[in-house]
Homo-oligomer: A and B are copies of this chain.
């Protein structure tokens, strides 16, 4: 039986495995070129210029192509060239360099082998508390990441659990072998660390200003860089959701991060510090505390205090990867700090790689909202797993590929990216390719319609985060409330309410502050509205909710019909159709539960007389 990887163009174009002696990207570049162009008239000349780094330039010569680039640039250049050939696009002229310096995948893989919020099987490199991987598959993975232009991989869960501290201690040798396997593809490893790790070694504190702690980390960093000289750095989640952190010792996050950054500095490593800090023991009765304000409140005052190799990683929205959130105000507030944008490929809140949810349209919005030049790095929570097709849903591969394209050039048209992925992967007849691209490009809007309305967020099944539960997080400790009653729904986050909007610069604030200027899709994020509130198009809020949910389900039916019309190869076709059946059930459940929930509260009838259950 053919497998997904047999057919996926960006893996299939060249034979595997890459010889083991190809231990650097430029060597892989030559092998890839020889293999691809070997049977064709064109020849490829490589001009390595170390200073170009990841950048490349391709020029057409009389007999072929010249690729000029740095060590990794040559590899990216070859892939770009093959890419253009395979998709029959004009080859990419001019100097190409990535927009974002660090383009990282954050893998939430536990040493046990399971993956937090993983929807594509078990870990590709952990099992039973150890590193455990198939060499061929890791090379294939490296190549996939190289194709996508992703240059760093944080191997373990930011919630460092169980034996994961061993990664940079006893298991360092094995981790170095994993680094070696990925290095030829321009992928550098990172590791999530536990800030309390010195306490496992007889040091009675993890206070970042304690000399013993400082020494322990300095020595540990030395040992780690002896084993993995090109490690991209460490990732830390501290003082968040029950993780230990500097607050325990009355220190700031700048003090905590800088201590670790200084240990990495001599080796060129970065310290990535996640800004996902909020009170996860909130009382729902407390209406003064507003979770979206938390990251800004914690970090904005620290701007300028972080060392230059600290990267503060900020989730795109102020909540947590919800379907619709405004850009986090933290991005505007820290001009003197290195910032990374964090997105999530794993479809935690966006359909579990069962429902279709192509992310490039979302990222383009985010990219356009980001203040110019302020963010230099990007990270994505991985959607990879040990499933045969790596992603659970074969189309979820488009999100990994698309993330790489976004990280190189955020201005790329999302539909172009989806079309390129589709073409590389399936080579369908033109009208079918169009249909597939439409299906993907529209998938986020459809998902948004049938789930929580207009930026309300959090109406998901607790813990699982798949399927509707309108009050699932309503009385919980996570700061996730909509406070729907018989008259109205939503939290007033304007200056007159929780004051969240005050965290934005004036021009952004003005847009969200008034109901008239606030875009519809975020109205319930920023405002508390009566069900009879009239939207700009004249519909009441409650009617808009009903309409969206009826339409959303119908649009999934249209998607299912479109999918059935595609001549996809097996097993992709069967897998995609089976998952579409589940998406239909899920969308129906969302439609009916959300409509019934608001109908029970509001008592409002649907103007079009459609069925709302009692």
Contacts and interface: CB of A to CB of B under 8 A. Distances in A.
A471 to B, nearest CB: 4
Contact of A601 (B468, B486, B589, B614): B486
A487 B603 contact: yes
A485 B614 contact: yes
A282 to B, nearest CB: 13
A113 to B, nearest CB: 19
Nearest to A589: B475
Contacts of A599: 485
A590 to B, nearest CB: 10
A483 B602 contact: no
B468 A603 contact: no
Most chain B CB neighbours (cut-off 10 Å) among A287, A471, A484? A471
Contact of A285 (B485, B487, B613): B613
A311 interface: no
A5 interface: no
Interface in A445-480: 462, 468-472, 475
A516 to B, nearest CB: 26
A347 B487 CA distance: 38
B601 A485 contact: yes
Nearest to A588: B285
A603 B285 contact: no
A177 interface: no
A593 interface: yes
A560 to B, nearest CB: 20
Interface in A499-527: none
Count this chain's copies in the assembly. Answer: 2
A539 interface: no
Interface string A367-403: 0000000000000000000000000000000000000
A60 interface: no
A592 interface: yes
Contact of A485 (B462, B469, B592, B600): B600
A281 to B, nearest CB: 12
A602 B486 contact: yes
A475 B484 contact: no
From A285, A475, A600, A613, residue with most partner B Cβ within 10 Å: A475
A469 to B, nearest CB: 7
Contacts of A472: 469, 471-472
Contacts of A486: 486, 600-603
Contacts of A285: 592, 613
Which 8 residue pairs spanning A and B have beta carbons closest together?
Answer: A485-B600, A471-B471, A486-B486, A475-B593, A285-B613, A486-B603, A486-B601, A285-B592
Given A483-B614, A486-B486, 9 more contacts: A285-B592, A469-B475, A471-B472, A472-B472, A475-B589, A475-B593, A484-B600, A486-B600, A486-B603
Interface of A: 284-285, 287, 462, 468-472, 475, 483-487, 589, 592-593, 596-597, 599-603, 613-614
8 contacts: A284-B593, A284-B613, A469-B475, A472-B472, A475-B589, A483-B614, A484-B600, A485-B601
